[in-house]
Structure 1
């Protein structure tokens, strides 16, 4: 049972982190995901398991895969999408992206 609780808390932490990174309130996320603010609050706190369709609603609103919310890992599909987007950029834009990633790595590591 403890493993499930930890997993729910981890999912909630990822939802909270993504929401805050986007600069949204719980109410704004709830509106974008077609859920109630109370549900978002419970999901972020890790106190409530959610049905798969609600996990999908949150993942779509936050623009991440459901796998990311569940595991915290970016799956190959996500990397392919990102790679396709980067291929459309100019070399100078790619260098900017590389600098941003380097700064994020320095900040979070």
Structure 2
């Protein structure tokens, strides 16, 4: 798996969203998104900070360790996040917006609340 996919896996296991992790390692959410998608390489200092926040080793995130005592084998939910990342990595912006709108509609149905499709703050 790529570094970005390993970060997604560890972040998901830690129960953190992308914005929370980005704040804790002092980078923007958009930079974290690009790191996870693999469109921007992670810097050494960022890798160390991410590993520390997620309570894993940098080697684990680099996929150099086959086992890490803090992270188990990916569960179904984590595998879905990783698959989703692979699918959207090179997707055009308008298709990404369509997916975001669909997710917000599904959330609306699930929670029965009005969702503003133009509000991207919760990404």
User: TM-score, length-normalised on structure 2?
Assistant: 0.51
* CA RMSD of superposed structures (Å): 2.6
Q: Which runs of 4+ in 1 moved over 2 A?
A: none
Question: Which of the pair has the greater relative contact order for Cα pairs under 8 Å at 6+ separation?
Answer: 2
CA distance in 2, matches of 1:16, 1:35: 16
Structure 2: segments with no counterpart, 5+ residues: 77-123
User: TM-score, length-normalised on structure 1?
Assistant: 0.57
Structure 1: segments with no counterpart, 5+ residues: 1-8, 83-103
2:40 counterpart residue number = 48
CA shift digits 1:32-84 (9 cap, x unpaired): 11111111101110111121111111111111111111124158xx76xx8xx
1:22 counterpart residue number = 14
